[in-house]
């Protein structure tokens, strides 16, 4: 039970009564020998505890770094240069900047579709122009940085495509009489005796660790947030049957979910190790994966709605991540 403070008592008692109660408390402390950090005067126990003031959200400058999940691939309107980066004007960085009330000159989005961690420190060539090194946007004046990177280093899209291919090949084998493996994609990536995907995730983590140190060096006063990836698949593989049919084995859907969890786990570990904040996008997007209905999903399936990118967040997904980031930034 919470102790009633003098501040609370003053609202319910007359001044004389409050003063009497305060003196009685001091006398009681003296009689019982109770003391505090002030040498036994009793004042430490009588004064109300001060709760720490919440840190106000930064007012910019804000720099957004990342890959296509940050940029908002194919989500209208597409803005910025180079056009090959496919940035959306309603991606989560833009929505975060709007939510914080930042002026245009206090916000810079340099995310780029296809980016790897190496493209944060080196120029990235796209089909339509060159994106300068993303970290070049940082300055000592920068006060907020979001980083959404690592999926391409881990080759996650390639893993998804390879799983689709392995399952197709295995299905054809099954049609000609050979027994079908329970998880052909998992077997493919473990064929050398090593989890090849985990090895890539670990290597991406090493790169990210160095990137976060570089960010701290360039913008020592900035608050840094590492953004995780949203949930792509449901916990129950059978829920994907209406969308994916039987072309992907249930075991491989579980394998893909496991790999995404490993990727997000690495991002969280690296963020905490560097003194940054990890923003979980997977938990709030549970139930809004690519196998959910069109009105519910935040991530598009392999055959997306017209004009959108397969296995990437849609506009609702960007809004959800923005809400998670704003909640973290505002504390």
Identified catalytic residue from 113, 183, 257, 312: 312
Residue 168 gets which letter from DSSP?
A: H
Letter string b/e over residues 300-331, b meaning 16 or more CB atoms within 10 A of that residue's CB: bbeebeeebbbbbbbbebbebbbebbbebbee
Dihedral Cα 315, 319, 320, 324, nearest 10 deg: 150
Reply yes or no on whether 68 is catalytic.
yes
* 125 CA to centre of own chain: 26
Q: Give me the half-sphere count of Cα atoms (radius 13 Å) on the Cβ side of residue 202.
A: 6
How would DSSP label each residue in 223-248?
Answer: EEEEE-PPP-S-SSGGGGHHHHTTSS
Count of beta carbons in the 10 Å neighbourhood of residue 137: 19
Which H/E stretch holds residue 109?
Answer: strand 107-109
CB-based contact 251:190 (threshold 8 Å)? no
Q: Which of 316, 150, 300, 324 is nearest to 233 (CA)?
A: 300
Identified catalytic residue from 10, 41, 68, 285: 68
Given CA atoms 19, 22, 28, 33 in this order, what sign does their dihedral have? Answer: negative
Catalytic center residues: 68, 312
């Amino acid at each position: 039970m919470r102790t009633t403070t003098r501040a609370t008592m003053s609202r319910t008692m007359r001044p004389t009564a409050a003063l009497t109660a305060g003196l009685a408390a001091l006398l009681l402390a003296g009689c019982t020998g109770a003391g505090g950090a002030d040498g036994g005067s009793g004042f430490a126990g009588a004064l109300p505890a001060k709760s720490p003031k919440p840190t106000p959200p930064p007012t910019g400058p804000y720099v957004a770094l990342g890959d296509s999940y940050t940029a908002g691939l194919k989500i209208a309107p597409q803005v910025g240069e180079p056009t090959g980066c496919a940035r959306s004007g309603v991606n989560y960085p833009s929505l975060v900047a709007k939510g914080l009330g930042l002026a245009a000159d206090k916000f810079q989005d340099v995310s780029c579709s296809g980016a790897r961690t190496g493209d944060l420190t080196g120029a990235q060539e796209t089909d339509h122009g060159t994106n300068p090194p993303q970290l070049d946007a940082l300055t000592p004046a920068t006060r907020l940085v979001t980083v959404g990177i690592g999926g391409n280093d881990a080759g996650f899209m390639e893993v998804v495509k390879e799983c689709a291919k392995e399952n197709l090949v295995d299905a054809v084998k099954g049609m000609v009489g050979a027994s079908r493996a329970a998880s052909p994609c998992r077997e493919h990536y473990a064929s050398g005796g090593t989890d090849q995907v985990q090895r890539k995730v670990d290597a991406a983590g090493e790169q990210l660790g160095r990137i976060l140190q570089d960010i701290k060096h360039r913008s020592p006063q900035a608050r840094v947030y590492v953004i995780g990836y949203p949930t792509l698949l449901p916990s129950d593989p059978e829920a994907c049957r209406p969308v994916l049919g039987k072309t992907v084995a249930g075991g491989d859907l579980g394998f893909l979910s496991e790999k995404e969890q490993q990727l997000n786990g690495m991002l969280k570990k690296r963020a905490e190790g560097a003194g940054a904040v990890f923003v979980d996008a997977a938990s709030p997007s549970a139930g809004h994966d690519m196998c959910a209905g069109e009105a519910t999903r935040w991530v598009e399936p392999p055959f997306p709605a017209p004009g959108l990118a397969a296995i990437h967040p849609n506009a609702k997904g960007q809004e959800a991540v923005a809400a998670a980031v704003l909640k973290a930034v505002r504390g």
